[in-house]
Amino acid sequence: MRRRSSLPLGFAEALDLPLCVDLRTAARAFDICTATAYKLIRLGSFPCPVLRIGGRYRIPTAYLLRALGIEERPVYAVPLEDDAVPAAQFHDTLDPSSEVPE
């Protein structure tokens, strides 16, 4: 049995994919080897729709993400740094005109 040459696709990397991906990338997303992906296509059991364009297989990213259980893309694919967006302090959110004079 051959070892896979690359790591599985990460969450942030999956959200940064183009509209369609090649079979190797889709196989990485499902954490299977490319040979298994070809076999699943031949059996009609690949987990999402596959397009055959010329001699190559292409997988629409929307179907790929849906098969992985990712229904919606977040606003930011990568987490923001803690200091990139300063958190608002509670006292900064109060409207000074709404304060009751003593």
Is 3 inside a domain boundary?
Answer: yes
Is 101 inside a domain boundary?
Answer: no
Q: So what's the pLDDT on residue 99? A: 54
The CATH number given to whatever domain includes residue 57 is 1.10.10
- Rounded CA-CA distance 87/8 in Å is 34
Range of the structural domain that residue 62 is part of: 1-71
Give 71-83 pLDDT, tens digit per residue. Answer: 766 555 566 665 5
Is 46 inside a domain boundary?
Answer: yes
Q: How far is CA 36 from the centre of its chain?
A: 21
Is 81 inside a domain boundary?
Answer: no
* 3-state SS track over 76-94: CCCCCCCCCCCCCCHHHHC
Is 80 inside a domain boundary?
Answer: no
Structurally, how many domains does the chain consist of? Answer: 1
Is 93 inside a domain boundary?
Answer: no
Is 102 inside a domain boundary?
Answer: no
Q: So what's the pLDDT on residue 9? A: 79
Is 15 inside a domain boundary?
Answer: yes
Give 26-65 pLDDT, tens digit per residue. Answer: 999 999 999 999 999 999 999 999 999 999 999 999 999 8
